Amino acid sequence: MRIILKITAISIAEVFLFGSCALAETESFQNPLLYPQPITEYMKLPGSITNILLLGIDFGHKGYWGSGGKKSLENCHTDAVLVIAVNTDEKTADMISLPRDTLTYVPGVKGIYKLNAAINCGDSMEDGLCRISEAASWLMGGIQMDYYFAVDMNTMAALGDALDGVDFELEMSYTGHSGKKYRKGLHHLDGVGITDYMRSRTNATVNANDIGRTGRQRKLMLAIFQKLKTNPELVIKTVKAAQEMKDGFFTNIINEPVTETFRLLSIAMGMSEHSIGSYVLSGKYRTALNGWNFTFTDQQNRQTVIKEVYGVDVPPLQYVGFEYTKWLEDAGFRTVHVLSVADQLREYIAGYGKNGITAKQQEAIDAFEAAYQDAALAFVTAAHSMSKQDTKVMEGARKKLLESGDAAAKLCEYRVKLPWATGKLFYADPYINEVAVDWR
């Protein structure tokens, strides 16, 4: 008698990002993607350091608006994430870029999640910004983000105009998102020019990736700092302009935000350019599942940066261990994508009904279901051991699932071409991370 392991859409979701290994009776395996340790107490830092989280949101771009031309929290991302650590004792500051594609823990979300989509998990803009602040703290080893300032793209351009633009040496020629063309060399960038440069990534002609973009953002931030330092009257003008942009400027400073923001900027004005450090929590950049991008944080770099800036040691992140990420890249991502697409076919067949099913169709359906269960169990087993032998078994089960799925789809008149490689976004499934999110 064949024993069928019952696996649902929810359990498949858990198996992938979350590793629900109870399915394979391997409760002792604690998949770090399922069981990240949330922050229970913020790390105590030596000296007097204030951490400011600067966030750039694509909320102001009409292409990301919801139905009816209205802005929608579900359709925005924090594509620029920059920590400013201001040390008032040493009169220094450090900029630390957190790549948007970094996987991190988000409060209230099961498992590990993508940093720039953390804002989607909130019930409101304020809630979403609080979640990404906590996500940044977790990624930084429990270091608290004291304040956050977030602006959308329209506000960023308005603030750039408020400070009367900035002179800046472009290291490349490119076409901005606004459609404006820029040539390599010295430019006076207005608000639109500043926004175009801050956003340049795939359209860049030098370092056309997110890590390259974070470097450009820090470089431009230094130029803006120098502009404000030499023109202190622009500080008040820019802060007031931000306050007036109520729909595109967000901060967790409740009482006297203009006064407090001015105080923080005044501290920075007393620093020299040479006392400002520039870092990035870089990592291994991977592409998997329909071309989605993931950044697995470089362990040594992360610990080194935090040690240099804060003078503290932080433990490594479990989920970015070499063995685990290598296994995910080599086999795990491919298998779970096949399982997720197969689950869509299973839902179609379940709704197909029993009436009129021929014996040949039923035979194909049974074979498909058996292959599905085998592939899911093989995936869980391989995730538990990550051995070459188990991976080979998993890959064989996946191949069998592909063949049986194609046969069942054809016989049951499934008219949608099975997108085994480039189909529906897996993370559009509301069971994943318990929220429905479109990753860009």
Residue 201 confidence (pLDDT): 82
Q: Which CATH number fits domain 49-316: 3.90.1410.10, 3.90.870.10, 3.40.630.190, 3.40.630.30?
A: 3.40.630.190
Beta pairing class for 249-251 and 147-152 = antiparallel
52 strand-pairing partners: 84, 147
Give dist(CA 93, CA 274) in Å, integer. Answer: 10
B/e letters for 382-415, b = 16+ CB within 10 Å, e = fewer, are bbbebeeebbebbbebbebbbebbbbbbebbebe
The pLDDT score that the predictor gives to residue 233 is 87
Tell me how many degrees the CA angle 97-103-106 measures, rounded to the nearest 5.
Answer: 95
- In Å, how far are 85, 221, 252, 329 from 260, measured between CA atoms? 16, 20, 11, 46
State the CB neighbour count (10 A cutoff) for residue 378.
Answer: 23
Is the dihedral angle over the CA atoms 212, 217, 222, 227 positive or is it negative? positive
Alpha-carbon distance of 234 to 160, in angstroms, equals: 11
Measuring CA to CA, which residue among 279, 312, 317 is closest to residue 298? 317
Encoded tokens for 181:
């063309």
User: pLDDT at position 271, please?
Assistant: 86
C-alpha dihedral, 398 to 401 to 403 to 407, nearest 10°: -170
Structure tokens at 200: 């340049």
**pTM for this model (two decimals):** 0.71
What ranges do the domains of the chain cover? 9-31+331-434, 49-316
Which residues are within 8 A (CB) of 150 and not within 5 positions of it... i.e. 6 or more apart?
54, 55, 56, 57, 78, 129, 249, 250, 251
Write out the two tokens for 386: 């990550």
Cross-strand pairs, 114:
103
Closest CA to 249 of 121, 137, 157: 157
The residue ranges of the chain whose pLDDT is under 70 are 1-36, 59-75, 110-111, 203, 258, 285-292, 319-330, 333, 353-355, 415-440
